[in-house]
Amino acid sequence: QKEVEQDPGPLSVPEGAIVSLNCTYSNSAFQYFMWYRQYSRKGPELLMYTYSSGNKEDGRFTAQVDKSSKYISLFIRDSQPSDSATYLCAMSAGATNKLIFGTGTLLAVQP
Amino acid sequence: NAGVMQNPRHLVRRRGQEARLRCSPMKGHSHVYWYRQLPEEGLKFMVYLQKENIIDESGMPKERFSAEFPKEGPSILRIQQVVRGDSAAYFCASSPDIRTGELFFGEGSRLTVL
């Protein structure tokens, strides 16, 4: 069993839709949770960062962490074609910032 | 403030040759991480370094791979006697503080082994 599980997709939605992306994990020591966006042939870009459980909102993006269920989510409101990318969840126990990544979900927002 | 700089962006090597990948972290960042991304796979941790020290190399293959982060100059990931299975994108990331959990990635170096 992988430490972090993420549905690879692809996920195709129409412009303006609400997108829900999810990851599950098995290591209860994880306490830092991140979402990265990666465009094709580019480096990952940090989108959202959350410490421990709870919600965090930044513009059209909302990150949720449920440590009791070992489940994290990223919601994108009013999705745009420019949101089309691979979204990677990542997490760490915090001792050295060693991040464990999901395999990524490929999102396509259709105009 | 310049981001994490990696070079070369693309590197082609024949089997048995050596590959050297360089990474300059963001200004003020003293923690450097190397990750490898294979096609259809997520990013896999390789090594974590601070200036002149290897802190965690648990993701590095035992042979042919080495990394350094000297007092002066960029961090270098070195792959000796490359094989076709080494073809991948290698990403460097830096962090200002290991307590924050935030890593900032470069654009990657794409290695192709013929």
The model's pLDDT over B11-49, given as tens digits with 9 standing for 90+, comes to: 999 999 999 999 999 998 989 999 999 877 789 999 999
What percent of chain B has pLDDT above 90?
A: 79
Task: Please state whether beta strands B65-68 and B75-79 pair in parallel, antiparallel, or not at all (unpaired).
Answer: antiparallel
Which tokens in the block code for residue B71? 């007092």
Decide: helix, strand or coil at residue A82. Answer: helix
Bond into A44 cis (ω within 30) = no
Picking from A34, A43, A104, the nearest residue to B42 by CB comes out as: A104
Mean pLDDT of the A68-92 span: 95
Q: How far apart are CA A17 and CA B6, in angstroms?
A: 36
Tell me what pLDDT residue B1 has: 52
CB burial of B34-52 (b: ≥16 within 10 Å; e: otherwise) equals bbbbeeeebbebbbbbeee
Chain A interface residues (partner B, CB cutoff 8 A): 4, 6, 8, 32, 34, 36, 41-46, 49, 51, 88, 90, 92, 94-104
Amino acid at B85: G
Query: In chain B, whose CA is at the least distance from the CA of A39?
Result: B107
Q: How far apart are CA B79 and CA B67, in angstroms?
A: 9
Tell me what pLDDT residue B96 has: 85
Give the best residue of A30, A97, A99 to mutate against chain B (max B CB count within 10 A): A97
Which tokens in the block code for residue B77? 């990931």
A59: Cβ contacts below 8 Å, ≥ 6 apart: none
Q: Side-chain half-sphere of A107: how many Cα atoms within 13 Å?
A: 31
Mean pLDDT of the A35-50 span: 92
Tell me what pLDDT residue A8 has: 82
Decide: helix, strand or coil at residue B19. Answer: strand
